[in-house]
Structure 1
Amino acid sequence: MLKYLLIAVVVIWLLYSPILRRARQLKRQQRPAAPSATPGPAKPPQVEDMVACAHCGVHLPASEACRDTAGRSYCSAAHRDAGPTSH
């Protein structure tokens, strides 16, 4: 009885192993190819001028500052509306 069970297992393995191998190949082919070029060195961070808020004195990047008509920099619209303070 054990002999027949062993033969059945071997026959099933012989039938299904090529099918499983082919399925794995198809799965690998469907995956997107990894980028072949390695990424270069990271770009250095951009250096930006810092400005002080004319109201509270907090320093912030110039691109994030709110400006009034006179060209003074502020950290927020509320401080711009409040106007400059003398320090």
Structure 2
Amino acid sequence: ELDRLELLLEQIKAVEAARDAMLSATTVVSPAPAMLLALKGIGPEFAAVLWSEGLSRHFDNRRQVAAYAGLAPTPWQSGSV
């Protein structure tokens, strides 16, 4: 069991290193990940997910952002088009 635990800890360290490398590589393209990390309450894991999933996309208006985040329904979610 200790061997499995050590393997798991090594895998977690590898994933965290890859995440940190991705965040540092994106700071060359955009300063947004560094700005996210500067906010209180946002750690490296949430900043990486927020940047790679939501903030790297292009939205035409605020309604699209709210619908993507699940805060506002889209016409197809409300039951009628």
Shared fold, TM over 0.5: no
- Tell me which protein shows more strand as a share of its residues: 1
Q: Based on CA coordinates, which of the two structures has the bigger radius of gyration? A: 1
Alignment TM-score, normalising by the size of structure 1: 0.28
**Larger RCO (CA within 8 A; separation ≥ 6):** 1
TM-score of the aligned structures, taking structure 2 as reference length? 0.30
